[in-house]
């Protein structure tokens, strides 16, 4: 039986401890405050990041891993006796991370199947968990990557931002660029579309109403597609994450919570503080 390793990047926001328990290797992106550079989730926790974000005179920037960093990981996994690798990463429409992994795969001593998850944060996390399940079921590289791409195509993400400032200044606003969110307490509800691009989902007046709209959309999806796996994400706002989960449960939607956690520094650079949302995927 082929030994398959799973690799992802830090923007899955599952954190090093959870990824270790799942048997997944993580290649971190970097966050830069001026001349200072930090490895996402490794040298800068979400709590430390959001404290710096709200006090720093300069906005942070991010940097994707280099092909050499991916190649080092692939070679190390080959040395440890793995036969194949499935490398699952955030949307290629938002980052060059998939491109770096693809470039490195050409020099890997063992086959690497690179998968664009077409998603970010805990949306990517749901896709990574699908790869783990396919691996644990005994699938080879082709089977694991095929199952992972299937889940990637069916995973959706809805999130509410307090402001579009960070998304626009970071150049990741996509089709949400022109959203007039500053008027009349409008809170943008955004989504990552099937092509992995951020776009507006709905404009809602007030944050509480925005969370209710997200919950209603999840409920509608469950009615159409059946039981959903969901993951709640928040920018160090555990109370609001809990509130969104309560809103979803109150709709009567048939859901299974697979994770609930913070948005890390790289995604937080563009989402800003007070982001909250949910990723979801039908269970086949």
pLDDT one-digit tens code per residue, 165-215? 777 665 544 444 444 444 445 777 899 999 999 898 988 888 899 999 999
Beta carbons within 10 angstroms of residue 137's beta carbon: 10
Instruction: Determine contact, residues 244/54, Cβ cutoff 8 Å.
Output: no
pTM beyond 0.85: yes
Q: What is the pLDDT of residue 169?
A: 62
Residues 6+ away with beta carbon under 8 Å from 97: 9, 11, 29, 64, 65, 89, 90
Between CA 7 and CA 128 the distance in angstroms is: 9
Give, in order, the Cα–Cα distances in Å from 10 to each of 13, 24, 254. 6, 11, 29
Q: Per-residue DSSP letters for 90-113?
A: S-TTT-SHHHHHHHHHTT-SS-EE
Between CA 284 and CA 279 the distance in angstroms is: 16
Between CA 191 and CA 278 the distance in angstroms is: 10
Residues (pLDDT < 50) of the chain are 172-184
Q: What is the pLDDT of residue 255?
A: 98
Q: What is the pLDDT of residue 277?
A: 97
């Amino acid at each position: 039986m082929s030994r398959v390793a799973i690799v992802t990047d830090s923007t899955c926001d599952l954190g090093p401890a959870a990824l270790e328990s799942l048997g997944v290797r993580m290649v971190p992106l970097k966050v830069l405050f001026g001349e200072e550079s930090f490895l996402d989730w490794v040298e800068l926790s979400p709590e430390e990041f959001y404290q710096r974000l709200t006090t720093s005179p300069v906005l942070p920037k991010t940097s994707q891993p280099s092909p050499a960093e991916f190649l080092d990981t692939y070679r190390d996994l080959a040395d440890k006796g793995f036969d194949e690798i499935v490398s699952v990463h955030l949307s290629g429409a938002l980052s060059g991370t998939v491109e770096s992994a693809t470039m490195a795969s050409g020099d890997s001593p063992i086959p690497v199947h690179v998968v664009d998850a077409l998603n970010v944060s805990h949306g990517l996390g749901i896709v990574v968990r699908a790869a783990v399940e396919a691996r644990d079921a005994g699938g080879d590289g082709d089977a694991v990557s095929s199952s992972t791409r299937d889940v990637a195509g069916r995973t959706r993400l809805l999130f509410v931002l307090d402001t579009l400032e960070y998304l626009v200044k970071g150049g990741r606003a996509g089709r949400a660029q022109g959203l007039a969110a500053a008027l009349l307490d409008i809170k943008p509800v955004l989504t990552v579309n099937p092509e992995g691009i951020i776009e507006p989902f709905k404009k809602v007046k007030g944050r509480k109403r925005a969370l209710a709209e997200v919950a209603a959309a999840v409920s509608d999806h469950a009615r159409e597609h059946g039981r959903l796996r969901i993951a709640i994400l928040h920018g160090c706002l555990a109370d609001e994450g809990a509130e969104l989960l309560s809103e979803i449960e109150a709709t009567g939607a048939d859901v299974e919570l697979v994770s609930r956690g913070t948005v890390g520094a790289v995604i937080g650079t563009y989402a800003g503080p007070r982001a909250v949302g949910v990723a979801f995927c039908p269970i086949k």
